[in-house]
Structure formats: structure tokens, C-alpha cells
Structure 1
Amino acid sequence: MLDWTTVLVIVLMAASTYATRVVGFVVLRDRTLSPRMQAIMQNVPGCVLISVIAPAFVSSRPADLLGLAVTLAAAMRLSLLPTVVIGVVATGLLRHFVG
């Protein structure tokens, strides 16, 4: 059975994510960014990823720590999207099998 509160939260999170991207595009579309600002804008997704996985550093659950290790290994070799997918899948499987 669907929990409508969960569905509403997911829809609102998606809308807010989309809105921040649209607002950023609208605000910056007619501006020429300096090389420093371009570098900052390119690194924002990585900062967000770190803020999401940072709590796993202090976790006492073995599955979370192993998932963190897999994610860090993937981050050394792959771009952001494959790293996120591998980290989520690995952590989910580890939580299911390791506990």
C-alpha cells in the first residue's frame, strides 16, 4: 500500500531540486562566469555528495562502513553519477546481507 506522506515528500523534494536548478539557470544565463566561479559551480555536486555520505563516517554499522569504502573506491575511478549509483546499490545490498 502506498504511503501518501512518503509520496508527497518525494514529489516535494524533486520539485525543490528542480526549482533550484531552474532558478540558478535563470539567474546566471546572461552572465559570463569567471574561471574561479566555473570551478566552484562544477564542484557543487561533489560537495552535496559528501554531505550525504559524511554521516556514514561515524556509523557503527558494518554495512554502512563497507558501503562507504565501496563508494570511495568508485569515486577514485569514476564520475559522479556512476559513483552515486554504485554507492547506493552497494550500501543497500550490504545492509540487506550484512545487516
Structure 2
Amino acid sequence: MSLDPINLAAFLGMALVTYLTRIAGLALVGRLNLTPRAQAAFDAIPPAVLIAVIAPSALATGWIETVAALVSGLAATRLPLLGVVAVGVATVVGLRALF
């Protein structure tokens, strides 16, 4: 197996751009003076992105995974992350065993 120089350059370029965007975000966040409302909006971005990634997968794979996602969402209101993951996995395993 050989590595094409064009592919290598593309990989390295993508890695560099990804790294620079992450560093730029960290460098700029300290310079922003946000109002409390803007800060609340920025704080809502990570859970919104997480839901945007999880919801299509949970809704498109089948009813068992959809139920497990809903149960995990309810568990997330009371349990830490590891507990939520355990509840979600147990729900999928249990429902698949039953049905």
C-alpha cells in the first residue's frame, strides 16, 4: 500500500485547518465581552449540537433505539453521564432481548 502525495497533503491540510479553527476559538473567547443573554446562548450551543447529531440516528434506526433515546433523555435529568449511558445501553439490550 502506498500513500499518494496529494492525499497526504489533503490530510495534513485538513488537520491544520481543524487545529487552527479550534485554537482560534479558544483565543477569541477570552476577548469577547458577552451580555448574560449572549452567554446563555453560547452555553446552549453544545447540547443543541449534541441533540442535532443524536436525534436523526435515534429516530431513523428503529423504535427500540427511539425508546432508548427517550429513556436516556429522562435519565439525564437525574443521573450523571456514566449512569445515562448505562441506562441507554441497558434499555437497548433489554428491548432487543424482549422483541
Give the TM-score of the pair, scaled to structure 2: 0.56
Structure with the greater relative contact order (CA < 8 A, sep ≥ 6): 1 or 2? 1
RMSD: 3.3
Q: Which amino acid aligns with 2:61?
A: S
3-state SS of 2:77 partner: helix
Distance 1:54 1:88, change over 3 A: same
Q: Does 1:27 align with 2:50?
A: no
User: CA contact under 8 A between 1:57 and 1:65: conserved in structure 2?
Assistant: yes
Give the TM-score of the pair, scaled to structure 1: 0.56
Gapped runs of 5+ residues in structure 1? 1-11
Larger radius of gyration: 2
Gapped runs of 5+ residues in structure 2? 1-13
- Give the corresponding residue for 1:76: 77
- Give the corresponding residue for 1:42: 43
* Superposition misfits of 4+ residues, deviation over 6 angstroms: none
Q: CA deviation at 1:31?
A: 2.2
